[in-house]
Amino acid sequence: MATLAGPMPGLGRDDRFFLTMAIAMALTIVAGFSVQVAMGRSTFAAPPLVHFHAFVFFGWVVIYVAQNVLVTRGSMALHRRLGWLAAGWASAMVVVGIYTTVTMVRFASSPFFFRPAYFLVMNSLSVIAFAGLVAAAIALRRRTEWHRRLLFCGMAILTGPALGRLLPLPLMMPYAEWGVFVGVMLFPLVGVIADLRRRGGIHPAWWWGLATIVAMQVSMTLLAYSPLGLSIYGAATRGYPGEAVAPLEFPPPPGGPLITGRDTAI
């Protein structure tokens, strides 16, 4: 199997593919959260922090799709200016993502199909891995082939929460997180297949992106069940209702709407 170590004729100009996949990932995210509302599992009466989190993260989805649209139209000057906004936005996502997750476990609001300690580590490492791929893509912004593929893999990570709402995770316990992992991996694997079909080889950026996602998933498991992970959970929940929740036991299913519909202090 060949690996594309450098630019090939036409490589980096596969604008239609990347725009199509950007829209596909965006639609996946919209579908995941829309299903929650349609099935009564979520509500717009959610706490303000949940709405702010949704605004920040969906804002990235809009920026990512817009950036791909600009590339297909050849509006590179605007694409570059918007890119700096995207860099700052991604930084904000790390803070908002981790803060929201910590707040949820503090108030015992983690999903019942994830162990609380795992949920804390999972969400935190996911947003950190996303930010790492975005940072690498920005550093390699002059190398289009690398830039767009690393951003693609970062965007794929963000589909995880939506896939978790589309997949029957309660039926997949105690391996629900691995179902989400497989779903996330499908997007970059489509990119790998697309490279093989169009170019006869695989650009190395895909391997770095895939390795990041795999390392992220393995690290979640190793950290969540380790003494360090339990210490982090204990420090995050100390003095809050989540302190009384067993970090490595599945919480009971809620009697009412799921997380974003609960009337909690978050």
pLDDT tens figures, 227-256: 999 999 999 999 999 999 999 999 988 765
- Mean pLDDT for the stretch of residues 213-231: 97
Please give the angle made by the CA atoms of 35, 175 and 152, to the nearest 5 degrees: 60
Distance in angstroms (rounded) separating the CA atoms of residues 226 and 218: 12
Predicted confidence (pLDDT) per residue in 77-91, tens digit: 999 999 999 999 999
Residue 171 has pLDDT above 80, yes or no: yes
Q: CA 71 to CA 16: how far, in whole Å?
A: 9
Q: How far apart are CA 68 and CA 148, in angstroms?
A: 9
pLDDT at 7 over 90: no
Q: How many CB atoms within 10 Å of residue 38?
A: 10
Mean predicted confidence (pLDDT) in 58-72: 96
Return d(Cα 29, Cα 162) in angstroms, integer.
Answer: 5
Residue 34 is predicted with a pLDDT of 85
Q: 138-142, 221-225, 240-244, 255-259: which has the minimum mean pLDDT?
A: 255-259
Task: Using alpha carbons, list the distances in angstroms from residue 247 to 96, 116, 156, 264, 266.
Answer: 22, 5, 28, 19, 19
- What are the pLDDT digits (tens) for 187-210? 999 999 999 998 899 999 999 999
Average pLDDT, the chain: 89
Q: Is the pLDDT of residue 43 over 50?
A: yes
Phi, psi at residue 264, to the nearest 5°?
-115, 180
Average pLDDT over residues 155-167: 95
Residue range 211-222: mean pLDDT, rounded: 97
- In the chain, domain spans: 15-238
Measure Cα distances from 56 to 72, 84, 88, 158, 258 in Å: 25, 16, 11, 12, 21
The model's confidence at residue 45, banded by pLDDT at 50, 70 and 90, is low
